[in-house]
Amino acid sequence: MRVEKLDEADRRPSLVDDAYAAMKEEIRESRFPPGYQASEQEIALRLGMSRTPVHEAAIRLQEDGLVRILPRKGIIICALAPADMREIYDVVIAIEGRAAALLAEMPEAERGVAATELAAHTTIMAAAREAGDLAGWGHADECFHRTLVERAGNGRMIRINQTITDQAHRARMLTLKLRRELGASVAEHEQIIQAIRIGNAASAQEQAYRHRSRARDELLPLLESFGLKHL
């Protein structure tokens, strides 16, 4: 009996992690759209999981700002408004600017590895754009920005960045077809990479700041002009 309990305890974190990852992916890709409400049992059945790990995963997702747990009413997927996106970009601009500077301040070998990885994501972005693969472009763009922050090595920045990028993912993917400056992102990424590669921290921070500021100034008017009040 004791062995069975240990086995169950060993499995439980994995089940919760699996439920958390599955629910997050459904939310990020709008398969659980903003405003969608369901009981824990309904979500568990939809995901092919049991209710207990879904319940514990929902608690974590609520801490991430992706869902709200309504007592006796189930789980509701949180929506974003343009004002939320403005706040998110304020945080992203600050974090990514600092991350770019930290990378540029690293020893040459370390920043070279980071620059090469960032360049690989940017190359994939350029190829996806040429092929008209917007989803591929968006995925490679997200990988670039995640790598930029993760390679900087600040754990708190990484955790904050993951939370807010998960929240913003739906809006970014929804507006890709409406945005006209996808090519500009590739060029701006290359400028950030070059500043990191040569170890110019001030330039790296400035280039990252300008890049995300331009993206913000392009995205927010789109949301407002198309009347997208909830994402």
Looking at the fold, whether 73 and 86 belong to one and the same domain comes out as no
Q: Look at the alpha carbons of 24, 28, 29, 31 in this order and tell me if their dihedral is positive or negative.
A: positive
User: At residue 51, what are phi and psi to the nearest 5 degrees?
Assistant: -70, -35
SS3 144: helix
Looking at the fold, whether 127 and 217 belong to one and the same domain comes out as yes
pLDDT in tens, 206-225: 999 999 999 889 888 877 77
Domain that holds residue 46: 2-77
Residue 57 lies in a domain: yes
Q: Which residues pair with 38 in a beta bridge?
A: 75
Looking at the fold, whether 161 and 174 belong to one and the same domain comes out as yes
Q: Pick from 62, 77, 92: which residue ends a domain?
A: 77
Q: Does the global pTM surpass 0.85?
A: no
Q: Pick from 59, 77, 95: which residue ends a domain?
A: 77
Cβ burial of 138 (10 Å; 0-12, 13-18, 19+) is: middle
Low-confidence stretches of the chain (pLDDT beneath 70): 1-13, 177-180, 226-231
Both tokens of 32, joined, read 């659980």
| Predicted pLDDT at 227 | 58
